[in-house]
Chains A and B, each alone.
Chain A
């Protein structure tokens, strides 16, 4: 594989950049693989990469209905954080933060990981207390957390509304300085390029139409490009999880909802990190191009449409204007939606299933992007060893029946409320 560097850039400049090798191939599916990963998003690509790299399993195919990077990995708002209160989520995502820190070097692809910090704003004394508790939990798990008072927040985001008339005054906030953003497309492309180089077949425009299960054991999959035998199959299909589960006669604690995001026209740098509004569902960061990247609520009803409705955008931006009045002067560049696999406790599922050789990776709710490396890492381990790793030992499917829920936000099962 051609290594990306300043020297290869200069070398290729002499041939007008016409002779770069393709970053990944477009193979015809083979009739049999050791492992088939369904879903060529960030998590699926990362899983295939870590299967090859950490477990030397290289006879692997990724089956993608559309094109890689066209689903949620290209639709998220690129936030990376590990500011969780529960041990299981905190440990899992902090392990992921370590993977993020070395990812550009490891993949030889600049994923533009930029740890600029995230601030969750508090608008009442009670919220400050809750954030103090969460911050302490984070620090016990070795994650950096800083409780900011009003003046400290004002120094960091002076453009927020600190006036006396405001309905939800800023009392302070909880900051994770090591959180940040990355370029989401580069993450997909970087993993794809390295996985392809290690022998993984990335098969795009290939829809899974069914499964071959014999005596409770997976034998292969049926696709729009023919049947493929596989010893092991991993599902990494986010919002499409229930569609494939139905083909397997499985019912899961997952509902699919559409989540919208939007960006403004680009402006000069004014917002350094990520800021979340504590009195409504709204968060914002500024991309390297200068666009204000914003998001918030689900549309609020089951949806497989990869686009949303205007009332939700209006509602989210009402919260945005309450926090940052300057937004009223900006033009909206575009809005879009992605379909989320909302689990019933708000935490993900990475587990084996009752079908031998079939593995499940789903339930990412609002925050799948930040977990892309650690999700792939632990899912690859679960598939390769046929057992969960310590890091995902609490992210199991049976937690809903045993009562060991990871309800980080304490919202219950009404996924559309949170």
Chain B
């Protein structure tokens, strides 16, 4: 069981959260001309690194906020969590 520190609620069990995938993919700005390559990169292409990964989780059985989590995909160590509007570096 992972334990994830929700920035709003504190340390909670993974079962309270649902996963939202890679947090670093950027949706193209739809007010501008968007190439199909940009759409591909946003919709389909993933780096899926072995090691540190910044990802989205939603505290679905808690405060229902989306949060960012920096986790190691090989060891599952969680380094940092943040509100979705904050940056993880």
Interface residues of A (CB under 8 A from B): 242-243, 246, 251-256, 300-305, 309-311, 344, 400-401, 413-414, 416
Majority SS at the chain A contact face: mixed
Q: Is the CB of A311 within 8 A of B44?
A: no
Instruction: Determine the chain A residues whose CB is within 8 A of the CB of B41 once the complex forms.
Output: 251
| Distance from B47 Cβ to chain A, minimum over Cβ atoms (Å) | 6
Q: Is the CB of B1 within 8 A of A255?
A: no
- With A401-B37, A416-B21: A302-B48 Cβ-Cβ less than 8 Å: yes
Q: Is the CB of A416 within 8 A of B19?
A: yes
Instruction: Determine the chain B residues whose CB is within 8 A of the CB of A251 once the complex forms.
Output: 41, 45-47
Q: Is the CB of B74 within 8 A of A253?
A: no
Task: Give Cα A138 to B33, complex, Å.
Answer: 42
Q: Is the CB of A304 within 8 A of B44?
A: no
Q: Is the CB of B44 within 8 A of A344?
A: yes
- Find residues 6-56 in chain B having any chain A CB closer than 8 Å to their own CB: 14-15, 18-19, 21-22, 36-37, 40-41, 43-50, 53, 55
B2 within 8 A of A: yes
Task: Give Cα A414 to B25, complex, Å.
Answer: 13
**Would you give 24 A-B contacts (Cβ < 8 Å), ordered by A?**
A242-B47, A246-B49, A251-B46, A251-B47, A252-B45, A253-B44, A253-B46, A254-B46, A255-B46, A256-B73, A300-B19, A302-B53, A303-B74, A304-B74, A305-B76, A309-B1, A309-B14, A310-B1, A311-B14, A344-B43, A401-B37, A413-B44, A414-B21, A416-B21
Majority SS at the chain B contact face: mixed
Q: Is the CB of A301 within 8 A of B46?
A: no
Instruction: Determine the chain A residues whose CB is within 8 A of the CB of B74 once the complex forms.
Output: 303-305
| Distance from A329 Cβ to chain B, minimum over Cβ atoms (Å) | 26
Instruction: Determine the chain A residues whose CB is within 8 A of the CB of B40 once the complex forms.
Output: 400-401
Q: Is the CB of A309 within 8 A of B46?
A: no
Q: Is the CB of B1 within 8 A of A311?
A: yes
Q: Is the CB of B55 within 8 A of A301?
A: yes
Instruction: Determine the chain B residues whose CB is within 8 A of the CB of A301 once the complex forms.
Output: 19, 55, 71
Instruction: Determine the chain A residues whose CB is within 8 A of the CB of B55 once the complex forms.
Output: 301-302
Task: Give Cα A303 to B46, complex, Å.
Answer: 13
Instruction: Determine the chain B residues whose CB is within 8 A of the CB of A252 once the complex forms.
Output: 45-46
Interface residue tally on B, bucketed by range: 20 to 34
B75 within 8 A of A: yes
Instruction: Determine the chain A residues whose CB is within 8 A of the CB of B49 once the complex forms.
Output: 242, 246
Task: Give Cα A311 to B49, complex, Å.
Answer: 24
Task: Give Cα A243 to B50, complex, Å.
Answer: 7
Task: Give Cα A102 to B37, complex, Å.
Answer: 44
Task: Give Cα A400 to B75, complex, Å.
Answer: 31
Instruction: Determine the chain A residues whose CB is within 8 A of the CB of B48 once the complex forms.
Output: 242, 254-256, 302
| Distance from B44 Cβ to chain A, minimum over Cβ atoms (Å) | 4
| Distance from A315 Cβ to chain B, minimum over Cβ atoms (Å) | 9
Instruction: Determine the chain B residues whose CB is within 8 A of the CB of A254 once the complex forms.
Output: 46, 48
Instruction: Determine the chain B residues whose CB is within 8 A of the CB of A311 once the complex forms.
Output: 1, 14-15
Task: Give Cα A416 to B18, complex, Å.
Answer: 10
| Distance from A110 Cβ to chain B, minimum over Cβ atoms (Å) | 37
Task: Give Cα A255 to B44, complex, Å.
Answer: 10
Instruction: Determine the chain A residues whose CB is within 8 A of the CB of B50 once the complex forms.
Output: 242-243, 256, 304
Instruction: Determine the chain A residues whose CB is within 8 A of the CB of B44 once the complex forms.
Output: 253, 344, 400, 413
Of chain B, the residue at the smallest CB distance from A398 is B40
Task: Give Cα A34 to B21, complex, Å.
Answer: 40
| Distance from B2 Cβ to chain A, minimum over Cβ atoms (Å) | 7
Of chain B, the residue at the smallest CB distance from A314 is B15
Name the one of A253, A309, A400 contacting B2, with C-beta atoms under 8 angstroms: A309
| Distance from B19 Cβ to chain A, minimum over Cβ atoms (Å) | 5
Task: Give Cα A254 to B47, complex, Å.
Answer: 8
| Distance from A302 Cβ to chain B, minimum over Cβ atoms (Å) | 5
Looking at A242, A301, A311, the one whose CB has the most chain B CB atoms below 10 A away is A301
Name the one of B22, B37, B45, B73 contacting A303, with C-beta atoms under 8 angstroms: B73
